[in-house]
Amino acid sequence: MYQPATIGDFVWEDTNKNGKQDIGESGISGLTVELYNCSTDELESSTTTNASGYYNFSVTPGNYYVQFSSDGYEFTSANQGTDDSMDSDADSSGNTTCITVESGETNDTVDAGLYQPATIGDFVWEDTNKNGKQDIGETGISGLTVELYNCSTDELESSTTTNASGYYNFSVTPGSYYVNFSSDGYEFTLANQGTDDGVDSDADSSGNTTCITVESGKTNDTIDAGLYQPENPKASMGDFVWEDLDGDGTQDIGEPGIFNVTVYLYDCVTGNLIATTNTDEDGEYLFTGLTPGVYNVSFAAPPESGYVFTPKDQGSDEKDSDANSTGNTTCINLVSGETNDTIDAGMYQPASVSDFVWNDTNCNGIQDPGEKGVANVEVRLYNIDGDYITSEITNASGFYKFLVPPGHYYLNFVLPEGHEFSPQFMGGDINKDSDVDNTGNTSIIMLTSGENNVTIDAGIFKASPSIQIEKFTNGKDADEPRGPVVQVGTQVTWTYNVTNTGNVNLTNINVTDSKGVEVNCLNTTLEPDESMVCNAIGTAKLGQYSNYGNVTAEYNGVQVNDSDPSHYFGHDHWTKVPTANPVLLIGVLGVAMLLLLRREQK
């Protein structure tokens, strides 16, 4: 009699292919396991591993061997270590040695470890800017030899070459390896730059990576190598420092270079100073013999020169300024053999515009001896687009001053109440005239680097409105009676000569006649010293006639006026105008009446 025996245990994925069941390595489910009789080599039984990777056979006592299927796996090394319960018992074909079990015996040490091939590989590229990162537009290098070494034995495991796009890969058993890249005339870029292992370079200066451990079925596609060509290993960078006369940040025709500006070159990655130079007589500079990399430039204005830096990045890169307000550029990539001749710096000296607001007492628009400045007048500064910038107030002597960058500006002078602006551009001397129009604005003023314009003046005067009217009757200035003699019933013509006798423009001019005669005028406004003639007509009446011409006008709501009398004497054709004393006149009239009565009696 006998008791059944048991053969079985565990099929697992040996992720590190060390032939031992390590913590965290899991069983393989659904794998076929067959039991063969060692004496007859016949199949005794077949089963599959459960969800956890376990199996067992119930057998009669005897001599057996187990065969494990692989289902795409490969078998790990057998009989590793001294613990038979934790090793793998299958050879490379999946068979164990013969196992003898006696009545009632259980052998639960018959295990099989399997693994899947792993992959190591990725990309070899030309790192044109030598920054150790795969940048857009940087291409792969084809035909480069790549070798795989075992980290434990330092023996060559495999060799391949990069394909047309620069890619390679190795299919390997789980383990620890390092990769060696050939250079073929290239030089290796910086390793392990940045935080993204998928786009950096993993090769050191000799082309070797560190050891890379890959587990069963895993793919490590981050093992890259960046190289650059040493045929043109050096790069250069420089250009021009100029005086930006108009302060627009652009290199214009005729703007000169600045001599002896100190220029510093820094490594953008480390911050280390690489080189120093000075601009030549034409304002040019150049750094040569540079290793491809990332740099920035710092410009130092000449000591005590008063220069400041112009606005950066205005217009095209060939003609702009690349320095910020402290003289520093951004970081600049230089690739193998590159010459970057666009790194410029514009500088200017502050400009000024200034002068004088004066009391133009004779209103002639010219600064005459004895005419004094006016204090506390507000002067406003605008750019060419009409944007307000700042204001100044004239001092006790009437002077003001603005310090500004070069450019195009205009000024507006705020007129004190009760004043007017003098005539503009009078006399032909820009140092003595007034430069503002009747709204207080100057024309556009162009200021170049370091220029001081001390000719922008404004004349003002106190407004003194007045008006005068002269009335004429039939062309006679008949202020006193009797005036011209006019035939009764005939037309009388009056003219009214109106003159602006003040120093300001007058509006709403209205001319009337005291006897209600309709007066016709061509204008309702007059400038200083301007005159106009108004007209009226009437019919002569008998006897002495007297009336007045009246005029009113306005300046800023203030009314001024004037009047002037005029006379005529009206007579009819039956009488003569008296020229003697009244007694004689009465006698003559009496005779005339007697004669008239006798003619009517006849």
Distance in angstroms (rounded) separating the CA atoms of residues 12 and 54:
9
| 30 and 97 belong to one structural domain | yes
Q: What is the mean pLDDT of residues 363-378?
A: 95
Distances (CA, A) of 55 to 13, 45, 78, 87, 102: 15, 12, 19, 16, 19
Rounded to whole angstroms, the Cα distance separating 500 from 464 reads 11
Residue 142 lies in a domain: yes
The per-residue pLDDT for range 90-146, each reduced to its tens digit, is: 999 999 999 999 999 999 999 999 999 999 999 999 999 999 999 999 999 999 999
CA atoms of 333 and 335, how far apart (whole Å): 7
Rounded distance, CA 456 to CA 447, Å?
12
pLDDT at site 303: 79
Q: Are 199 and 255 within one domain?
A: no
pLDDT digits (tens, 9 = 90+) for 13-25: 999 999 999 999 9
Q: How far is CA 63 from CA 252, 286, 578, 594, in A?
A: 101, 88, 180, 192
Residue 41 has pLDDT above 90, yes or no: yes
- Tokens standing for residue 382: 């605008």
pLDDT band at 593 (very low <50, low <70, confident <90, very high): low
503 found inside a domain: yes
pLDDT at 384 over 90: yes
Q: Given this model, what pLDDT does residue 463 score?
A: 87
Concatenating the DSSP letter of every residue in 126-142 gives: E-TT-SSB--TTPPB--
For 486-511, the pLDDT digits (tens) are 999 999 999 999 999 998 889 999 99
Residue 577 lies in a domain: no
Each residue's pLDDT tens digit, 542-584: 999 999 999 999 998 889 999 999 999 999 865 554 544 444 4
Query: Which residues neighbour 4 within 8 Å (Cβ) at sequence distance 6 or greater?
Result: 58, 59, 60, 104
Q: Tell me: do 507 and 565 sit in the same domain.
A: yes
Q: What would the mean pLDDT of 222-247 be, rounded to a whole number?
A: 88
Judgement on whether residues 127 and 102 belong to the same structural domain of the protein: no
CATH number, residue 127 = 2.60.40.10
> What CA–CA distance (Å, rounded) separates 494 from 487?
15
Residues 370 and 411 in one domain: yes
Residue 552 lies in a domain: yes
**Are residues 156 and 219 part of one domain?**
yes
- Decide which of 462, 479, 513 is a domain's last residue: 462
CA distance 513 to 536: 9
**Per-residue b or e along 243-271, where b marks 16 or more CB atoms closer than 10 Å to that residue's CB:** bbbbbbbbbeeebebbeebbbbbbbbeee
Would you say the C-alpha torsion 328, 331, 335, 336 has a positive or negative sign?
positive
Residue type, 261: V
Buried b (16+ CB within 10 A) or exposed e, 103-126: eeeebebbbbbbbbbbebbbbbbb
Among residues 228, 247, 281, the one where a domain terminates is: 228
| Domain of residue 537, CATH code | 2.60.40.1530
Residue 108 resides in a domain: yes
The Cα 449–Cα 247 span in angstroms is: 7
Q: How many CB atoms lie within 10 A of CB 75?
A: 21
Check whether residue 492 and residue 407 sit in a common domain. no
pLDDT at 576: 53
In a domain? residue 258: yes
Percent of all residues in the chain with a pLDDT value above 90, rounded to a whole number? 85
HEC assignment per residue over 74-123: EECCCCCCCCCCCECCCCCCCECCCEEECCCCEECCCCEEEECCEEEEEE
Backbone angles phi, psi at 590, to 5 degrees: -65, -45
Verify that 435 and 476 share a domain, yes or no. Answer: no
Q: Which stretch of DSSP H or E encloses residue 583?
A: helix 582-601
* Same domain, yes or no: 420 and 453: yes
Q: What is the mean pLDDT of the chain?
A: 92
Cβ atoms of 145 and 158 within 8 Å: the answer is: no
pLDDT confidence of residue 231: 60
Looking at the structure, tell me whether residues 303 and 381 fall in a common domain: no
Q: Which of 369, 271, 287 is nearest to 328 (CA)?
A: 271
Residues 331 and 382 in one domain: no
**Would the pLDDT of 522 be above 70?**
yes
3-class DSSP string for 490-506: CEEEEEEEEEECCCCCE
Q: Are residues 105 and 196 in the same domain?
A: no
599 inside domain: no
pLDDT in tens, 180-212: 999 987 899 999 999 999 999 999 999 999 999
Query: Rounded CA gap, 347 and 301, in Å?
Result: 8
Asked if residues 237 and 207 have their Cβ atoms less than 8 Å apart, the reply is: no
- Residue 472's alpha-carbon distances to 476, 497, 523, 572, 584, in angstroms, are 5, 8, 19, 22, 32
Of 348, 377, 409, the residue at which a domain comes to its end is: 348
Our count of domains for the chain comes to 5
Q: Is residue 598 part of a domain?
A: no
Structural domain range at position 127: 118-228
Q: What is the mean pLDDT of residues 278-291?
A: 94
For tokens 């796009």, what's the residue? 165
